[in-house]
Amino acid sequence: MYLVGLTGGIASGKSYVASLLGELGASTVDADQVAREVVVPGSTGLVQVVGAFGFEILSPSGELDRAKLGEIVFADPEKRIELENILHPLIKARTTQLISEQPSEIVVYAVPLLVEANVDYPFDTIITVEAGVENQVSRLMTSRHMSESEAKARIEAQTTSVERVARANYVIDSSGPKDQTRLQVVEVWRQLLEAAKAKR
């Protein structure tokens, strides 16, 4: 197996790049999906999160209200750390299982907080997707209906582009048209195939 870490800031285009890599033949595991899975109603994760943050973070149907929880943790770094300490062990256990079950030689683990959380999976290589802060703000305001200040706060809560780029082996610039991003992904995929072949 050749394990690729895929990261990038919020609204940078990670999901698009992950989907392209999937089309090209990679198996993909999405940290955001795993994070949702570990807090479904009835899960240990949700019980622990409610124990730490109270019943007000639940929707009327008993599901996690991500918007309410987000307001709490993005306003208070200590609360964010508390949430991460609950969820990260659960996410890591589930992710390790999912990665081991993937059929493809190249497995892409898409994880937004790869640098911030100091994710210690044995990655063979790391890709970061960067769009530039102005594009991120614009995308968040359009797709998630955030105010400009909310969007900037979310971006500032993450590590900087400079720090992600310093950790990455490949940088994909997603600030332009999708066709340009696709061309970059195809070239990175070609190099990943060569690297995976060399590792065999």
Query: Residue 57's domain spans which residues?
Result: 39-103
| Residue 68 pLDDT class (50, 70, 90 cuts) | very high
Contact 113, 73 (CB under 8 A): no
71 and 91 inside one domain: yes
Model-level pTM?
0.82
Same-domain status, 150 and 190: yes
For the chain, how many structural domains are there in total? Answer: 2
CATH of the domain at 147: 3.40.50.300
Higher-confidence residue of 139 and 50: namely: 50
Decide if 33 is inside a domain. no
Q: Give the tens place of pLDDT for each residue, 136-192.
A: 888 889 988 899 998 888 888 788 888 899 999 999 999 999 999 999 999 999 999
pLDDT of residue 45: 96
At residue 119, does pLDDT exceed 90? Answer: no
Of 64, 85, 103, the one marking the end of a domain is 103
Phi-psi label, residue 140: left if phi above 0, alpha if psi -120 to 50, beta otherwise: alpha
Residues 133 and 155 grouped into a single domain: yes
Is 69 in the same domain as 138? no
